[in-house]
Amino acid sequence: MRFKSQKIWIFPEDDINTDVIFPGRYTYEPLSPDEMTRHALEDYDSKFIEEVEDGDIIVAGSNFGAGSSREQAVTCLQAAGISCIIAKSFARIYFRNAINQALPLVISPECSDFVTKNKENLLSSKEKIDVDFDNGVIKIKDKVFSFPKLDDQALQIFKAGGLVEYTKTRLKKST
């Protein structure tokens, strides 16, 4: 798997929680993924939903996705076109929800720090990020950062399109 960003979204704060990613006031409304996108990060960055494009990558601080276990916080970003999120760390439940829904996450404190420190320059130059999951490498400008590769089962879940599709495939093979 490989992703090259269209645009970089830089959210350097730590502990961006699921209430900020997908506001709790919409949690109990039966919204489709496309309807959820209208509310993605609306309380954090009001321009996000107007400007996000397919293939964009988010770079964040520590503990991204803290808070409740709501899957909408993954779904809304994925449906908005986010191809990957790079952060110093992720809340454990957010990380698992992202694998279940096949939204690639990368833990790279070094990349997050570099992007945060060079935010203005990277945004003004419309720099791209290249994330290579097969080799565990992130490239941005002339910098290369490595990250731990996903285990085989997680990669199979991603390639299947999420946990539900992965499970369906496994069940078909067992019958």
The whole-number pLDDT of residue 145 equals: 96
pLDDT at 3 over 90: no
- Per the rule left: phi > 0, alpha: psi between -120 and 50, beta: everything else, 67 is left
CA distance 171 to 164: 11
pLDDT at 159 over 90: no
**Closest listed residue to residue 121, CA positions, set 147, 142, 146:** 142
Which amino acid, 114? F
What is the extent of the structural domain holding 106?
Answer: 2-174
Tally the domains of the chain: 1
At residue 45, what are phi and psi to the nearest 5 degrees? -145, 100
Cα distance between the two ends of the chain: 29
At residue 92, what are phi and psi to the nearest 5 degrees? -60, -45
Q: State pLDDT tens for residues 42-100.
A: 989 989 999 999 999 999 999 999 988 889 999 999 999 999 999 999 999 999 999 99
pTM of the model: 0.91
CATH of the domain at 37: 3.20.19.10
